[in-house]
Amino acid sequence: MTNGQIPSEAEALLQIKDLEVHYATRMGIVKAVDRVSLEVRRGEVLGLVGESGCGKSTLGMALLRLVPPPGKIVGGQIIFDGQDLLALSETEMRKLRGRRISMIFQDPMTCLNPLQRIDDHIIEAIRVHEKGVSRRAAWERAAELVDKLGITSDRLSDYPHQLSGGMRQRVMIGLALALNADLIIADEPTTSLDVIVEAQILELLKELRRAYNLTLILITHNLGVVAELADRVAVMYAGKLVEVADSVPLYDEPLHPYTQGLLKSIPSISLDKRELKVMPGSPPDLINPPPGCRFHPRCPYAMKECSELEPPMKEVRPNRWVACLRY
Ligand SMILES: Nc1ncnc2c1ncn2[C@@H]1O[C@H](COP(=O)(O)OP(=O)(O)OP(=O)(O)O)[C@@H](O)[C@H]1O
Ligand code: SF4
Ligand SMILES: [Mg+2]
């Protein structure tokens, strides 16, 4: 099955086909990513959304072949710029990480070396990417880059713990840019920040995407964040994609009952708090997910066949893919 969300393969920077990632645990096999197919076009921001535990981070890490044990990619293909990533050796994969595909995490402290100054992080990134660049020239580039990110160059000599959370996240974004990565995967990049800093980082990402023509996969459980930035949105539920669409039509008229539930639960300034609805129930156990449509125990429209048949992804409108038996 392919979701075929793009008219021509030439536009796709990344094609994920029937990807399966399992965690073998003592309790059983957790099917965290279950036959997911998705394409990412060059220059787009794709939002990947869903409730906690639906498999978003596992999918993101699988794209770099960095799923931690006991997690394992057990099936499918990841084609990046025409190359099958699952066929590469670990050495080839190591060359590609950071330089061609970069990942930004929720907590930048986990990726920054606490003993290394900010300038050393960026200079190292530049010099790994471009052999022969002098330290001085790399420092100047680093200063120029952090300036674009809203950090003054005198902060370059700081250590990571001397910066605020928002500034550290700016540094992480800067590292991805210094490496000139073709694809950036940002996993909850603003979740640990307060709302004002979050808004600043989102604004920064908006500016940078125009300036650098970034291709970004933005992973978040916050549909509000995605609405700000994404061109397209992929909605994930219990290890599977349930809807993939351009952002504007998705927000105007969500088709999958799960997407509808998620959108109703976004807090908004204009919305009276009493109107905010929390989706009833919780996501299923991924060791023994419900048969048929995994959303059926929570779905207000569930029919008899929903607990028997697994809904396939179908293009129900142009560029609009939905996995629901109602369509
Ligand atoms: N190391 C692990 N061992 C066993 N199961 C795991 C492991 N890591 C994740 N899982 C399971 O895989 C599923 C997907 O987890 P994942 O972290 O990818 O979800 P997520 O959508 O990123 O959630 P969140 O929004 O909380 O970050 C969950 O059911 C989780 O419990
Ligand atoms: S297939 Fe059935 S249970 Fe699943 S989302 Fe559609 S209507 Fe609801
Ligand atoms: Mg996650």
Give the binding-site residues of ligand 2, using a 6 Å CB cut-off: 257, 293, 295-296, 299, 301-303, 306, 311, 324-326
User: If you ran DSSP here, which 8-state letter would residue 278 be given?
Assistant: P
**Predicted confidence band of residue 6 (pLDDT cuts 50, 70, 90):** very low
Distance CA 5, CA 36 (A): 13
**Predicted confidence band of residue 193 (pLDDT cuts 50, 70, 90):** confident
Cα-to-centroid distance, 127 and ligand 1 (Å): 35
The residue ranges of DSSP E strands in the chain, in sequence order, are 12-25, 28-41, 45-49, 71-80, 83-84, 101-104, 183-187, 216-220, 232-237, 240-246, 314-317, 320-322
Is the CB of residue 147 less than 8 Å from the CB of residue 155?
Answer: no
Q: For residue range 63-112, what is the model confidence (pLDDT) as tens digits?
A: 999 999 999 999 999 999 999 999 999 999 998 998 899 998 888 787 88
Neighbours of ion ligand 3 (CB under 5 A): 57
| Range name among 15-19, 125-129, 275-279 with the lowest pLDDT average | 275-279
Cα-to-centroid distance, 147 and ligand 1 (Å): 36
Ligand 1 atom showing the smallest separation from residue 283 Cα: 29
Residue type, 64: L
Does the CB atom of residue 61 touch ligand 1 within 6 A?
no
Position 114 in a domain:
no
Position 129 in a domain:
no
Residue of 240, 303, 322 with the most ligand 2 atoms within 8 Å of its CB, for mutation: 303
For residue 209, give the CATH number of its domain: 3.40.50.300
Which whole number is the average pLDDT over 294-310?
96
Cα-to-centroid distance, 27 and ligand 2 (Å): 28
Position 167 in a domain:
no
Position 204 in a domain:
yes
Distance CA 180, CA 58 (A): 24
Report pTM.
0.91
Q: For residue range 7-50, what is the model confidence (pLDDT) as tens digits?
A: 444 479 999 999 999 999 999 999 999 999 999 999 999 999 99
Position 230 in a domain:
yes
pLDDT above 60: residue 254: yes
Six-digit token string for 57: 């981070």
Position 164 in a domain:
no
Position 219 in a domain:
yes
Position 134 in a domain:
no
Distance CA 10, CA 230 (A): 21
Task: Determine the angle formed by the axes of helices 118-129 and 135-148, rounding to 10 degrees.
Answer: 110
pLDDT at 88: 96
Containing structural domain, residue 247 = 9-100+181-322
Cα-to-centroid distance, 6 and ligand 2 (Å): 25
Structural domain count of the chain: 1
